[in-house]
């Protein structure tokens, strides 16, 4: 993606999720000394689907990961927007790019590819490490075994409930919890045994079934090993319970008014977990006052899932940060370049948060005049053909801004203009 950085920095990354491992790859490939600290004792992403749109796949390919991801992922075709009560397709959105992949991948497979790439690039990943104190003044970490680390930069990639964020922002951030998602994986064998379900396993389109206060988003993952369903519903799990096991009968009852094949698909599922649908509010800063402790990924800008860009923003963060730190020739420049990183990233992530919020409202409109107006607008063929007018997600200009974004090229241009 770029040449080696002129100055090799010691960087500690807190968290081995998608954001932390993405940063580890980008930074280690540029020659920085990377240590990833993960409190769990192993890779432990709970199974669910992840969409990897072109703005992210562009970066992953530049890291040399195309073959590994292509071997694990489905290539998504269209996105279908469906009326929950009738099964009628209201709109069809074509793939975002004809040149770059739009992958559908099983989250644990994705995390494993990123982990292997990070280690291959030279990053050290340590598991079962509990950071007990972050010293902002001295950029120092204290670990539960009595060990101290004093890196040049600390990255808080510790997710939506980030302890790093609580430390550097004095625990003043309250998550915005809106609804909740049931996450369901149906094994290939069960899908193939049902005549109504089997065709969906081989259909690479992502489907969004829109209902009052509820949505179902579904698509195949893991090279057809599973069919992934995400079912948004009112309410939320208890605070801190991000993966609460649910009674499938209760889940089926909540979605029994959805048209075929939703009830049939849910009848094939043995289990599911409930996640809070939440996002981080817009933060005034992503860094400590020293500029040497920096939030990335969901810790900084977790968004609602209604634009399928959460994981992609982690990838973009990593690429942009690597380009910023590649301009460091003296450690005294780190705060300036982490500030530039925020100036580059915040406007884009905030617009994506806003667009995700808007989609959440559009997809869950109660039955009635507003819903009927939405459906009528979305069904106009000319609107679907040119992508204009129905909503921002489908407008051509917004799609170009979202999917054709080249994080590396944009960042290099900004840094050049800034004199770095």
Domain of 66 in residue numbering reads as 10-72+100-174+282-363+392-417
Q: How far is CA 250 from CA 13, 178, 181, 253, in A?
A: 40, 20, 14, 5
Query: For the chain, what percent of residues have pLDDT higher than 70?
Result: 94
The CATH code of the domain that includes 158 is: 3.50.50.60
Tens-digit pLDDT profile for residues 335-348: 999 999 999 999 99
Q: For 144-235, list the strands marked E by DSSP.
A: 148-149, 153-156, 176-187, 206-211, 214-221, 226-233
Neighbours of 328 (CB within 10 A): 22
The pLDDT value given to residue 389? 41
Q: Is the pLDDT of residue 366 over 90?
A: yes
Q: Is the pLDDT of residue 93 over 90?
A: no
Q: Confirm whether 384 is domain-assigned.
A: no
Can you tell me the mean pLDDT for 48-70?
96
Q: What is the total count of domains within the chain?
A: 1
Q: Confirm whether 204 is domain-assigned.
A: no
Query: For the chain, what percent of residues have pLDDT higher than 90?
Result: 78
Q: Confirm whether 387 is domain-assigned.
A: no
Q: Is the pLDDT of residue 103 over 60?
A: yes
Q: Confirm whether 202 is domain-assigned.
A: no
The percent helix, strand, coil of the chain (3-state, each to 5) is 40, 25, 40
Specify the pTM: 0.94
pLDDT band at 305 (very low <50, low <70, confident <90, very high): very high
Can you tell me the mean pLDDT for 360-382?
89
Can you tell me the mean pLDDT for 10-36?
98
The pLDDT value given to residue 45? 64
CA distance 41 to 28: 22
Q: Nearest 5°: phi and psi at 378?
A: -70, -25
Q: Indicate the range of 167-171, 219-223, 234-238 predicted with least confidence.
A: 234-238
| Residues forming a β-bridge with 34 | 11
Q: Confirm whether 243 is domain-assigned.
A: no
pLDDT, averaged across the chain: 91
Q: Is the pLDDT of residue 177 over 90?
A: no
Q: Confirm whether 21 is domain-assigned.
A: yes
The pLDDT value given to residue 112? 96
Q: Nearest 5°: phi and psi at 362?
A: -65, -40
The pLDDT value given to residue 385? 40
The pLDDT value given to residue 390? 44
Tens-digit pLDDT profile for residues 109-134: 999 999 999 999 999 999 999 999 99
Structure tokens at 411: 């960042």
Structure tokens at 282: 């817009």
Structure tokens at 71: 């071997």
CA distance 13 to 382: 48
Pair type for strands 49-52 and 103-106: antiparallel
Q: Indicate the range of 94-103, 162-171, 181-190, 204-213 predicted with least confidence.
A: 94-103
Q: Confirm whether 245 is domain-assigned.
A: no
Half-sphere exposure of 167 (CA within 13 A, CB side): 24
The pLDDT value given to residue 179? 86
CA distance 153 to 77: 40
Q: Is the pLDDT of residue 9 over 60?
A: yes
Q: Is the pLDDT of residue 391 over 60?
A: no
Q: Confirm whether 3 is domain-assigned.
A: no
Can you tell me the mean pLDDT for 152-179?
90
* Contact of 33 with 57, CB cutoff 8 Å: no
């Amino acid at each position: 993606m770029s040449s080696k950085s002129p100055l090799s920095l010691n960087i500690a990354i807190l968290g081995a999720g998608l954001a932390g491992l993405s940063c580890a790859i980008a930074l280690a490939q540029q020659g920085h000394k990377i240590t990833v600290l993960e409190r769990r004792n192993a890779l432990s992403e709970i199974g669910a689907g992840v969409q990897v749109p072109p703005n992210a796949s562009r970066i992953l390919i530049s890291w040399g990961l195309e073959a590994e991801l292509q071997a694990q992922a489905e290539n998504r075709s269209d996105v279908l927007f469906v009326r929950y009560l009738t099964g009628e397709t209201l709109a069809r959105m074509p793939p975002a790019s004809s040149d770059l992949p739009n992958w559908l991948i099983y989250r644990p497979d994705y995390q494993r590819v990123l982990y292997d790439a990070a280690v291959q690039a030279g990053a050290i990943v340590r598991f079962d490490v509990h950071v007990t104190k972050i010293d902002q003044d001295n950029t120092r970490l204290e670990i539960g075994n009595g060990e101290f680390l004093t890196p040049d930069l600390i990255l808080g990639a510790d997710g939506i409930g980030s302890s790093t964020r609580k430390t550097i922002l004095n625990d003043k951030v309250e998550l915005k919890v809106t609804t909740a998602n049931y996450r369901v994986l149906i094994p290939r064998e069960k899908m193939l045994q049902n005549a109504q379900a089997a065709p969906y396993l081989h259909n690479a389109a992502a489907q969004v079934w829109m209902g009052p206060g509820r949505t179902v988003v579904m698509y195949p993952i893991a090279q057809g090993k599973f069919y992934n369903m995400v079912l948004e519903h009112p309410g939320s799990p208890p605070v801190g319970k991000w993966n609460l096991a649910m009674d499938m009968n209760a889940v089926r009852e909540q979605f029994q008014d959805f048209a075929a094949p939703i009830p049939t698909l849910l009848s094939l599922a043995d289990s599911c977990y409930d996640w809070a649908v939440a996002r981080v509010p817009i933060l005034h800063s992503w860094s400590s006052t020293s500029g040497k402790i920096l939030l990335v990924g969901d810790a900084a800008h977790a968004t609602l899932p209604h634009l399928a860009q959460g994981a992609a923003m982690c990838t973009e963060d990593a690429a942009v940060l690597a380009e910023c730190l590649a301009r460091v020739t003296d450690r005294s420049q780190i705060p300036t370049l982490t500030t530039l990183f925020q100036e580059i990233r915040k406007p884009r992530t905030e617009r994506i948060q806003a667009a995700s919020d808007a989609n959440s409202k559009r997809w869950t409109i109660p039955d009635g005049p507003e819903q009927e107006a939405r459906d009528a607008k979305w069904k106009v063929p000319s609107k679907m053909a040119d992508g204009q007018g129905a909503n921002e997600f489908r407008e051509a200009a917004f799609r170009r801004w979202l999917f054709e974004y080249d994080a590396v090229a944009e960042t290099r241009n900004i840094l050049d203009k800034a004199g770095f």
